[in-house]
Amino acid sequence: MPKILLVGNGAREHIIASKLAASKDITLCIFASAANPGIKKLSQSYQVGDLMNNKEITTFAQKEKIDFAVIGPDEPLGNGVVDALMAAGVPSFGPSKTLAQIEGSKSFARNLLVKHKIQAYPKHKSVSNLEDAKNWLGELASEFVIKPDGYTRGKGVLVQGDHFQTQAEGLQKVSEVLRHDGKVLLEEKLVGEEFSLMTITDGTSFVHLPAVQDHKRAFEGDRGPNTGGMGSYSDANFSLPFLKESDVEVARSVNEAVVQALFEETDLKYKGVLYGGFIAVKDGVKLIEYNARFGDPEAMNVLGVLKSDFAEFCQAVIDEKLGSFKASFEPLATVCKYVVPEGYPDNPLKGKKIDASGVDQSKVEIYYASVDEKPDGVYMTSSRAVAVLAKASTIYEAEAITEQEIDKIKGRVAHRSDIGTKALLEKRVEHIKSIRNI
């Protein structure tokens, strides 16, 4: 009876926990930073502690005699929790610190792809002074994007046309980032439709997950500040309405090439999920960023349709036997929407109650994110609170179901009602058609 440690307590970890708990004969132990009511119910032991304290996590793993760990969030991966657990005899589903740099360091990721001739990145330049920035921009024909290095979860990126308008305004922002960080990455601005393509790997074999489109902007119509993701959808054919088959194939092969390049570079096998953030553009597919974990909310879409036993899946990754594991997925469309506190992300109401008890859980699945369970109810923090996932034969049907059930959630909350609607999807398809002249 394997004992599994899950690190993390967001909605992504809630669905990971529920998939693991559905496996036969497993015991689930959780190391979390807060009391997630959904995850708590699924686990035999639940410790609240500091996710960035490797010693606390390994001590808990040893006390619980854990067989293997699954690491949910990016920061513990970047902090080397997988290496610390390994040194304590506990293998993990999740990359070691060195390999997690593919997410944690944009410069590491870019250097790796350039060195291994994986031509997926837009034009870019890392600069450490304003003069170099001016010179590079002088040669660039398009608008540009400013990216601080490190873990920004998409929130630190500044896009011309959105976050600043003119080149002069952009340079002002560049000098602010330089003052703070000493260096900054500049990038050609790409125009297209973004999608996430996640691949589970044991370092040698690959299982590609359905493509997903997340919605980073806080407000309807893709307006407002960037967030961790307000909601996402996937389609029954595991592609997306605006993608060609070749777009998905390119994304898959870039992910495979990156795992191979990581191995050649480090001699280490990447075990876990590699998340490519891609954008379909005029002449194909480009890469925006890599993450070393499941996306959140994308985890809900892809694990929501996973038919195979997830504990066995993780075990196959850890044992490097993914090549002989048969992964299968239900051919269903999914829509996941996040319910957030009013005012999120800039001025969220903090510490308000949320009550999802009226939701019909035979129609949707509910995954708790940044909430804290107290004796008198579930409280929101200042971040995304509850993810609502529906599955159906079409995206539109799944969307309608999420709306019906979100209406039943009580509290001072907001969500994006446009995600997965016909109007928004048609806009995406028209956008690609106009870019690709089809």
Chain contacts with ligand AMP (rule: CB under 6 A): 122, 145, 147, 152, 154, 157, 159, 187-190, 194, 216, 277, 288-289
Given ligand AMP, ligand GLY, none, residue 159, with its beta carbon under 5 to 8 Å by kind, binds ligand AMP
Nearest alpha-carbon partner for 229 in 344, 112, 78: 344
Place of tokens 């994304």: 251
| Paired tokens of 83 | 């290496």
- How far apart are CB 338 and ligand GLY at their closest, in Å? 10
Residue 296 contacts by C-beta under 8 Å, 6 or more apart in sequence?
A: 10, 11, 12, 228, 229, 369
Q: Is residue 13 a contact residue for ligand GLY (CB under 6 A)? A: no
d(CA 391, CA 413): 23
Q: Is residue 276 a contact residue for ligand GLY (CB under 6 A)? A: no
- How far apart are CB 14 and ligand GLY at their closest, in Å? 14
From 127-135, 169-177, 247-255, 288-296, give the range in contact with ligand GLY by CB under 6 A.
Answer: 288-296
Place of tokens 């896009």: 159
- How far apart are CB 229 and ligand GLY at their closest, in Å? 3
Residues 196-225 that bind ligand GLY (CB under 6 A): 214
| Nearer CB in complex with ligand AMP: 147/416 | 147
Residue 133 contacts by C-beta under 8 Å, 6 or more apart in sequence?
A: 125, 127, 171, 174, 178, 184, 186
Residues 225-264 that bind ligand GLY (CB under 6 A): 229
234 DSSP β-pair partners: 334
d(CA 424, CA 417): 10
Q: How far is CA 205 from the centre of its chain?
A: 21
Q: Is residue 103 a contact residue for ligand GLY (CB under 6 A)? A: no
- How far apart are CB 430 and ligand GLY at their closest, in Å? 24
| Paired tokens of 260 | 């191979």
- How far apart are CB 409 and ligand GLY at their closest, in Å? 21
- How far apart are CB 145 and ligand GLY at their closest, in Å? 16
Given ligand AMP, ligand GLY, none, residue 288, with its beta carbon under 5 to 8 Å by kind, binds ligand AMP
| Nearer CB in complex with ligand AMP: 95/277 | 277
Q: Is residue 295 a contact residue for ligand GLY (CB under 6 A)? A: yes
Whether the CB-CB separation of 186 and 136 falls below 8 Å is answered with yes
Given ligand GLY, ligand AMP, none, residue 145, with its beta carbon under 5 to 8 Å by kind, binds ligand AMP
- How far apart are CB 384 and ligand GLY at their closest, in Å? 10
d(CA 266, CA 261): 8
Q: Is residue 64 a contact residue for ligand GLY (CB under 6 A)? A: no
Place of tokens 């960035």: 52
Residue 402 contacts by C-beta under 8 Å, 6 or more apart in sequence?
A: 335, 336, 337, 364, 388, 389, 390, 420
* DSSP assignment string, 163-212: TB-SHHHHHHHHHHHHHHHS-EEEEEPP-SEEEEEEEEESSS-EEEPPPB
| Nearer CB in complex with ligand AMP: 322/432 | 432
Contacts with ligand GLY by CB under 6 A lie at 153-154, 214, 229, 291, 295-296, 298
